Amino acid sequence: MPIDRDPRSVFSVSQLNEESRRLLEGALPSVWVEGEISNFQAASSGHWYFTLKDAGAQVRCAMFRGRNIRARLRPANGDSVLVRGGISLYAARGEYQLIAEEIEAAGLGALQRAFEALRRRLAAEGLFDEARKRPLPAYPAHLGVVSSTAGAALHDILTVLRRRYPLLRVTVFPVMVQGAEAPRQIAAAIGAANSLAATLDPPLDVLLVGRGGGSAEDLQAFNEESVVRAIHASALPVVSAVGHETDVTLADFVADRRAATPSAAAELISPDQEQLASIVGAQGMRLQQVILRRIAQHGERLRWLSRRLRHPGARLRDQAQRLDELDARLRTVLRQRLREAESRLANAHTRLGARNPLATLTDRERFLGQLQRRLQSAIRASLSARQSRLAACARLLDSVSPLATLDRGYAIVSSPEGEVIQDAATVVRGTRIRARLARGTLECEVLEALPPPA
């Protein structure tokens, strides 16, 4: 808007640039610009500075660290990009520039072409056939939700379920729903839900896969082949709820049911508790009518039977007489059994007395004493014989010991290496030898080696 100033007033350069900056920022607060990156610089502060150009012009751009850390694309010189930002003016140099808020690769048409090519290929394999799609359980007991815990989609799902069917148990499998890692996490979560389904109490019986709205790039994870094949391989029925009603992904084609939004998916899966209460009420009325009719029928039969029923007093008198008879018979049988038992007990006592173990025990103790005395005598005799034999062996050993031979004046002659010399012919003159005596050893030198006498 025009600046209301006195035409005779004088601007400083700083004032002029500041006023120009305010005008630019007010006129173009946010625009999308397409162009090619050049002169890209990543400053040590984390800010990005680059030039965006086309065939006829260029504009300086800055993307500050607080924004570029969330960017899915790190630009490089020569990249064709789309940049959203606001126009401003760098007052220090008097240059106008674009302050970037978002940056993404240009060419959504290529993304759409890739989407159509993959859709046609998977459709040819039969992944989207309607014949393979399964119905959802009418009254599910346990729902698995594969989505992000950070977005509003999960909150919307839980809000709808609490309102419509609070009895439904919900297990959330948290995943990233956008970014390079998202497809792998979503496919893995679908596989994990199927693996754990039977182990949970109650078992999982339906799966909801989805997220809230976003751009085509934000929803790209649900167009990845790995996610589509994971949904196709799921043994659990799958409801796809990705983005808004106008958003369509390959996950919607392969899922058993597609919902326009996560909230719509929650309504599709859950029965309405108010409708159920109405059905239960109607069934209760029908049940009450059936019960009253049955009561009336049984009452009529009861009245018919009561007319045929004998008076209980007469039956009680008969039963009392019968009981007296049985009591008398029981007493007679018990007395007879008692006499027989007493007779068997007396006979057993007599036989037990005849086989009193005390006499046998005395005989065994006497016999054991005899065995002990015989054992001690045998041990002493054996010990004496072995001691005599040991003494004889010691005398014999002493008689043949070489040490005893040495005591009689003999010597053992050996070389310095310890080999015993038995033949004088094996020793030459001047050889040093050792002679072991009974007490001590002599170091000797051979003066002459004589042959044995004839």
Condensed to tens digits (0 to 9), the pLDDT of residues 304-362 reads 887 777 667 767 777 888 888 888 899 999 999 999 999 998 888 888 776 777 777 88
Nearest Cα residue to 101 out of 159, 172, 30, 39: 30
Residue with tokens 């999308």: 32
**Distance (Å, rounded) from C-alpha 102 to C-alpha 111?**
18
pLDDT of residue 110: 57
Give a yes or no: residue 211 inside a domain: yes
* 315-344 burial code (b ≥16 CB/10 A, e <16): eeeeeeeeeeeeeeeeeeeeeeeeeeeeee
Q: What angle do CA 426, 431, 436 make, to 5 degrees?
A: 85
Q: Based on the fold, state whether residues 71 and 136 are members of the same structural domain.
A: no
Residues 6+ apart with CB under 8 A from 417: none
Sheet holding 257-258, edge to edge: 169-174, 142-147, 206-211, 238-242, 257-258
Alpha helices in 309-356 (DSSP H): 312-354
430: left (phi over 0), alpha (psi -120 to 50) or beta: left
Q: Based on the fold, state whether residues 264 and 284 are members of the same structural domain.
A: no
Give a yes or no: residue 392 inside a domain: no
* 2-29 burial code (b ≥16 CB/10 A, e <16): eeeeeeeeeeeeeeebeebbeebeeeee
pLDDT of residue 1: 47
Q: Based on the fold, state whether residues 221 and 283 are members of the same structural domain.
A: no
**Distance (Å, rounded) from C-alpha 64 to C-alpha 219?**
26
CA-based Rg of the chain, rounded to a whole angstrom? 56
Nearest Cα residue to 238 out of 224, 220, 258, 214: 258
Give a yes or no: residue 333 inside a domain: yes
Q: Based on the fold, state whether residues 228 and 99 are members of the same structural domain.
A: no
Question: 152: domain CATH number?
Answer: 3.40.50.10550
pLDDT of residue 247: 83
Q: Based on the fold, state whether residues 205 and 327 are members of the same structural domain.
A: no
Low-confidence ranges of the chain (pLDDT < 50): 1-2
Examine the fold and report which residue of 338, 358, 387 is the final residue of a domain before the chain moves on: 338
One-letter identity of residue 157: I
Q: Based on the fold, state whether residues 76 and 25 are members of the same structural domain.
A: yes
Give a yes or no: residue 74 inside a domain: yes
pLDDT of residue 5: 58
Nearest Cα residue to 33 out of 64, 65, 59: 59
Examine the fold and report which residue of 296, 323, 338 is the final residue of a domain before the chain moves on: 338
One-letter identity of residue 253: F
Give a yes or no: residue 371 inside a domain: no
Q: Based on the fold, state whether residues 145 and 241 are members of the same structural domain.
A: yes
pLDDT of residue 427: 84
Q: Which structural domain, as residue segments, surrounds residue 304?
A: 277-338
CA 286 to chain centre: 49
Number of structural domains (the chain) is 4
Examine the fold and report which residue of 247, 271, 295 is the final residue of a domain before the chain moves on: 271
Peptide bond into 202 cis (omega under 30): yes
Residues 6+ apart with CB under 8 A from 51: 37, 38, 39, 58, 59, 60, 61
Give a yes or no: residue 61 inside a domain: yes
Give a yes or no: residue 452 inside a domain: no
Question: 97: domain CATH number?
Answer: 2.40.50.140
pLDDT of residue 28: 67
- Measured in residues, the chain has a length of 454
pLDDT of residue 16: 72
**Distance (Å, rounded) from C-alpha 59 to C-alpha 95?**
9
Q: Based on the fold, state whether residues 261 and 131 are members of the same structural domain.
A: yes
Contact 147, 172 (CB under 8 A): yes
pLDDT of residue 6: 58
For residue 44, give the DSSP letter: T
For residue 134, give the DSSP letter: P
Contact 77, 31 (CB under 8 A): no
Query: Angle formed by the axes of helices 108-124 and 225-233, to 10°?
Result: 30
Q: Based on the fold, state whether residues 143 and 228 are members of the same structural domain.
A: yes
Q: Based on the fold, state whether residues 181 and 259 are members of the same structural domain.
A: yes
Q: Based on the fold, state whether residues 160 and 89 are members of the same structural domain.
A: no
Q: Based on the fold, state whether residues 284 and 263 are members of the same structural domain.
A: no
Give a yes or no: residue 394 inside a domain: no
Strands 31-42 and 432-436: unpaired
Sheet holding 441-445, edge to edge: 412-414, 432-436, 441-445
